[in-house]
Amino acid sequence: MKRKGKRLMGVVMAFLLILSLATPAVADVEPLFLEASLFPGERVDEIKTVTFELSEEADVVFAFDLTSSMSGIIGAAKTNAGALMTELDTWGGLHGIDFDYGVMSYMDYVGSYASCGYDAVYGYAVSGDYPYSLDQGVTSNNTLVDAAITGLSLGNGGDGPQDYTRIFYESYADSNVNWRSGAEKVLLNFGDNVPHDCDLKEDVPGTSGTWSTGGDPGPDTVMGTGDDLDLQIVLADMANAEVKLLESHSTATYSQYWDYWTGVTGGKMFVTSSGIWLDQVSEEIKKSLAYVEDLHFVADPGFESWLTTGYESGWMYDGSIDVAIEIEVPMGTPAGDYDFVLTAVDAYGNEYGTQDVLIHVKESVLIDIKPGSFPNSINLKNKGVIPVGILGSADFDVTTVSMGSVVFAGAVPQDPVLSFEDVNGDGFLDLVLHFNTQEVNIQPGDTEACLTGLTYGGIVFEGCDSVRTIPKN
């Protein structure tokens, strides 16, 4: 069986997921834009509001592993399927969500298969095993769905792994599933093992090496042909088709893997048992459609260290959730403009909107209020001007200052009163500007006044100096 391009496909899949992660609801982030001017080490705090609009339709397809080890869960499903749908329909009615349901079942491919260093019997014809059956397409008729579940019969299966990849594939490939256009699509798989795949460890965090459980021969059931299925590719295609995978097991075995695989689609794994089946399954379906867990923000690559985010959880039907964030410019960041995007995501990678951020990292400059005098006394009754020197240095060329951008204590410079001179005798040219005393926003008791501006290259700069005020009265 050929396994070409696996590493490349992993990169492609990651790119596709960035573009099209499944989202359980329409959502917006306010404010849409954040702009701030900061020195390295300074920060800006903001409360972001994520507002949700739930989908009006939700389709849930129940997929059942019918191998013999699943007897307890299958029994619970048969007993409680009708009550589950009634519970979901009632809850959906309260929140404007119309539910439809469907049913799939499977055991595994029949026969012995050898591939990727693995050789085993997948399933037995004598036990009635089969790889895939669409027992009921998505329908609003709960009676048909209940009958399909009640009519399920256990088979046997061969080895431990099952053909889960085939089921995931059919969730978007089989048009007879009959998902409604615009509905939220949830595939709820009841299983207890892992899929067939030539490398289950591929891309799974915290794993190394390979783990082969044999390939999946695909719809033609023949290993090594063009329709063989690859787990990672199928999961990426599920995400692109916006089919969310919920995986229900009776134990947490293999949860490290299932957490990752379900997360690719924006779903999750959860553990249930026959005794709590109804309540647990109902709750997880509701949460998959209308609950946000650990809503937070992530920054574009390269800006992760700038962001500190809060984590909030809640029901989307409450309307909105507020998340506090901080953006701090790392020390040593060169002056300039930095634009990036913050994305609201939850614990499972679902995206809920973005915010554009523009940070002007300021350059610190030295200024000298009333060059040559100290203290820098400002008589607030004076009708004249206040000279302010912007001091040049090896790092700052005052001839690059855009005069029209300069503001001192809220006032613009008098035009055309300016001069280039070395006011502090350090050998670097300085720029002296004059500001009308009656226009500056300096209040009695102020001890500092600041000047800001831009260079022709768009760099924001700022400098402050001490003042001693003489009141107007």
- pLDDT, one tens digit per residue, over 189-206 is 999 999 999 999 999 999
Residue 229 has pLDDT above 90, yes or no: yes
* DSSP symbols for 330-376: PTTPPSEEEEEEEEEE-TT--EEEEEEEEEEEPEE-EEEESTT-SS-
Residue 154 has pLDDT above 90, yes or no: yes
Identical fold between 55-291 and 363-470: no
- Spatial contact of 333 and 356, defined as CB atoms under 8 Å apart: no
State what percent of residues in the chain have pLDDT above 70. 94
pLDDT the model gives residue 273: 87
CA angle 445-449-452, nearest 5°? 160
Q: Which of 147, 189, 148 is nearest to 166 (CA)?
A: 189
pLDDT the model gives residue 215: 97
Instruction: Tell me the average pLDDT across 261-265.
Output: 95
The full set of domain ranges for the chain reads 24-53+293-361, 55-291, 363-470
Query: Which segment of 24-33, 286-295, 308-317 scores lowest on mean pLDDT?
Result: 24-33
Instruction: Tell me the average pLDDT across 43-48.
Output: 97
Residue 472 has pLDDT above 80, yes or no: no
- Spatial contact of 317 and 372, defined as CB atoms under 8 Å apart: no
> Is omega for the bond preceding 195 within 30 degrees of 0, making it cis?
no
Residue 470 has pLDDT above 90, yes or no: no
Cα 353 to Cα 52, 264, 302, 342, distances in angstroms: 10, 18, 20, 9
- Spatial contact of 83 and 89, defined as CB atoms under 8 Å apart: no
- What span, in angstroms and rounded, lies between the C-alpha atoms of 178 and 171? 10
Q: 377-379 and 407-408 as β-strands: parallel, antiparallel, unpaired?
A: unpaired
Residue 224 has pLDDT above 90, yes or no: yes
pLDDT the model gives residue 473: 63
User: Mind listing the pLDDT tens digit for each residue in 297-308?
Assistant: 999 999 999 999
Write out the two tokens for 305. 């260290």
> Is omega for the bond preceding 471 within 30 degrees of 0, making it cis?
no
- What span, in angstroms and rounded, lies between the C-alpha atoms of 399 and 117? 71
User: Mind listing the pLDDT tens digit for each residue in 331-350?
Assistant: 999 999 999 999 999 988 88
* Amino acid sitting at position 326: E
Third-level CATH fold of 363-470 = Immunoglobulin-like (2.60.40)
- Spatial contact of 48 and 31, defined as CB atoms under 8 Å apart: yes
- What span, in angstroms and rounded, lies between the C-alpha atoms of 330 and 342? 17
pLDDT the model gives residue 26: 67
Q: CB atoms < 10 A from the CB of 244, how many?
A: 26
Place of tokens 């300096």: 442
- What span, in angstroms and rounded, lies between the C-alpha atoms of 33 and 282? 38
> Is omega for the bond preceding 31 within 30 degrees of 0, making it cis?
yes
**24-53+293-361 CATH choice from 2.60.40.4140, 1.10.8.10, 2.40.40.20, 3.30.420.40:** 2.60.40.4140
CATH class of 55-291: alpha beta
Q: CB atoms < 10 A from the CB of 41, how many?
A: 11
Give every CB contact of residue 90 below 8 A, 6+ residues apart in sequence: none
pLDDT the model gives residue 274: 84
